[in-house]
Chains A and B, each alone.
Chain A
């Protein structure tokens, strides 16, 4: 018996058509079960209900700080990425300094330093009353500065993933560097990195809890305040977990859904390979 003819056989990759017992997302069911269980406890348990009512007062601040910090960090991240890829030695070094500086310091230390020292000092330096930015907005600036450095690397990866031929084609038609970036490279790059941006938005939502150390009245701070006076630690922190988990679960399902959607629209060889690669028989 020889081995050679077998290698000539076409390779059939079986793609399972229906869910099997092994494929069922039990982890997701467990998380949903936890969320539903918490809803029941909040509905019927008076102590859970009181914790819920208090912590929920922080939702507004959590969403506001997350959203504003994200918008700022996207803008900062984009410009830092462009500066890092720039031909200018000065721009490249400033951007790299910023990114590496941020990456080398724990986030909680950066938040304290930015909000309590750097932003007020910077305001004093330019002669503006430090109350111009309240503690909430100093916290937002701090979060945005940290995430701007993270997103700079995401944008850079996205821009570098666009083949050089795209730029060459645009420039050969007489388009300026700015036009090429804005109309050819960035639209494609941003579409590629949207799932990564979505995941960073989720991470930012979770990291907004760190603002509680600045006494900003977002959800975590509200939970701390409530336990300090009611001593209902179990109820309050389970409710807090419930809030974050519900939010991040919904967002991550949205990101996954979007990722699959652009995967099918693009129909590139890469996505097809990734899709079939996951189904290799064992």
Chain B
């Protein structure tokens, strides 16, 4: 308990010595990362570089093989830390949206409020509608997910997480499954969130978003953090060969 006061520093998320194996394969090697309150951190890197795994370890959707993840000084995996309480504070947006297809948009955004936050029906609907207005589709409240476009579904997924009033939002390649014409509407919502001061960790291939929104960009390759720098510096003056190679490959087209 004495260690907790010490670790309740400026860092909202603290990852130390994170390792993750899938069977024989090491997906993440000794990753250390601190994210401060209000900071937007974008993780980039080639596919298979372990960036999604790092993100999924932050809310323990993946259990780290070794290492520590702390959210507000609470160490995940500790006996006296309820993982469900931590997850309620950490929103997550997935590549495949993962809306609940048997529920309407409104029910998608209210169900966890009711079950986890124990909010009254009326309050949860009010909050849901506020969040749906925020992402620009309150008129779809009574639709089912399959009646929505991919971009609309992803915006509902963002609203679903925001309705929990999380302190942190994690985005796992939120635009990778979208048709090109729908990417902007999702990125616009994310940009607005960043401007409003939300603490965000974003795995993406959208370098434009990284430039516009990130305080720091993390470049990962082969499970390791290669370089962390503000976007201007990382994109204009990458320090490592692997970063240069990666940037030349994705910015070439």
Instruction: State the A residues within 8 Å of B (CB).
Output: 163, 165-166, 168-176, 179, 183-184, 187-188, 191, 266-268
Cross-chain contact of A188 among B87, B98, B102, B157 (Cβ < 8 A): B102
CB-based closest 6 A-B pairs? A174-B88, A169-B98, A173-B112, A172-B92, A165-B98, A174-B116
Shortest distance in angstroms between A119's beta carbon and chain B's nearest beta carbon? 39
B111 touches A (CB below 8 Å): yes
Pair A172/B91 contact, Cβ less than 8 Å = yes
Within 8 Å CB of B216, what residues of A? none
Pair B88/A165 contact, Cβ less than 8 Å = no
Within 8 Å CB of B116, what residues of A? 173-175, 179
Within 8 Å CB of A172, what residues of B? 59, 61, 87, 90-92, 161
Pair A170/B102 contact, Cβ less than 8 Å = no
- Given A165-B94, A168-B92, A169-B92, output 6 extra A-B contacts at Cβ < 8 Å: A165-B96, A165-B98, A168-B94, A171-B61, A175-B116, A184-B100
Query: How far, in whole Å, are A97 and B99 apart by their CA atoms in the complex?
Result: 36
Pair B112/A170 contact, Cβ less than 8 Å = yes
Q: List 19 A-B contacts (CB under 8 A).
A: A163-B96, A165-B94, A165-B98, A166-B100, A168-B94, A170-B112, A171-B61, A173-B88, A173-B160, A173-B161, A173-B164, A174-B85, A174-B116, A175-B115, A175-B116, A179-B115, A179-B116, A183-B111, A188-B102
Pair A268/B146 contact, Cβ less than 8 Å = yes
Within 8 Å CB of B112, what residues of A? 170, 173-175
**Closest B-chain residue to A177, C-beta based?**
B84
Within 8 Å CB of B48, what residues of A? none
Within 8 Å CB of A176, what residues of B? 84
Query: How far, in whole Å, are A170 and B112 apart by their CA atoms in the complex?
Result: 8
> Beta-carbon contacts of B90-131 to A below 8 Å, as 1s and 0s?
111010101111100000000110011000000000000000
Within 8 Å CB of A187, what residues of B? 102
Shortest distance in angstroms between A90's beta carbon and chain B's nearest beta carbon? 22
Instruction: State the B residues within 8 Å of A (CB).
Output: 59, 61, 84-92, 94, 96, 98-102, 111-112, 115-116, 146, 157, 160-161, 164
Shortest distance in angstroms between A101's beta carbon and chain B's nearest beta carbon? 32
Within 8 Å CB of A165, what residues of B? 94, 96, 98
The dominant DSSP class at the A interface is helix
Cross-chain contact of B61 among A168, A175, A266 (Cβ < 8 A): A168
Shortest distance in angstroms between A272's beta carbon and chain B's nearest beta carbon? 12
Query: How far, in whole Å, are A170 and B87 apart by their CA atoms in the complex?
Result: 10
**Closest A-chain residue to B89, C-beta based?**
A174
Pair B146/A171 contact, Cβ less than 8 Å = no
Cross-chain contact of B94 among A169, A175, A179, A268 (Cβ < 8 A): A169
Within 8 Å CB of B102, what residues of A? 187-188, 191
**Closest A-chain residue to B99, C-beta based?**
A169
Q: Which of A168, A174, A183, A188 has the largest count of B CB atoms less than 10 A from its CB? A: A174
Query: How far, in whole Å, are A175 and B161 apart by their CA atoms in the complex?
Result: 12
Within 8 Å CB of B88, what residues of A? 173-174
**Closest A-chain residue to B157, C-beta based?**
A169
Query: How far, in whole Å, are A175 and B82 apart by their CA atoms in the complex?
Result: 11
Query: How far, in whole Å, are A175 and B91 apart by their CA atoms in the complex?
Result: 12
**Closest B-chain residue to A173, C-beta based?**
B112
Within 8 Å CB of B59, what residues of A? 172
Cross-chain contact of B87 among A171, A266, A267 (Cβ < 8 A): A171
Shortest distance in angstroms between A161's beta carbon and chain B's nearest beta carbon? 12
Cross-chain contact of B164 among A170, A174, A188 (Cβ < 8 A): A174
Within 8 Å CB of A169, what residues of B? 92, 94, 98-100, 157
Within 8 Å CB of B91, what residues of A? 172-173
**Contacts known (A168-B61, A267-B146, A268-B146); A173 close to B87, Cβ less than 8 A:** yes
Within 8 Å CB of A174, what residues of B? 84-89, 112, 116, 164
Query: How far, in whole Å, are A171 and B164 apart by their CA atoms in the complex?
Result: 13
**Contacts known (A165-B96, A166-B100, A173-B164); A183 close to B115, Cβ less than 8 A:** yes
Query: How far, in whole Å, are A178 and B33 apart by their CA atoms in the complex?
Result: 33
Pair A188/B115 contact, Cβ less than 8 Å = no
Shortest distance in angstroms between B97's beta carbon and chain A's nearest beta carbon? 8
Query: How far, in whole Å, are A179 and B114 apart by their CA atoms in the complex?
Result: 11
Within 8 Å CB of B157, what residues of A? 169
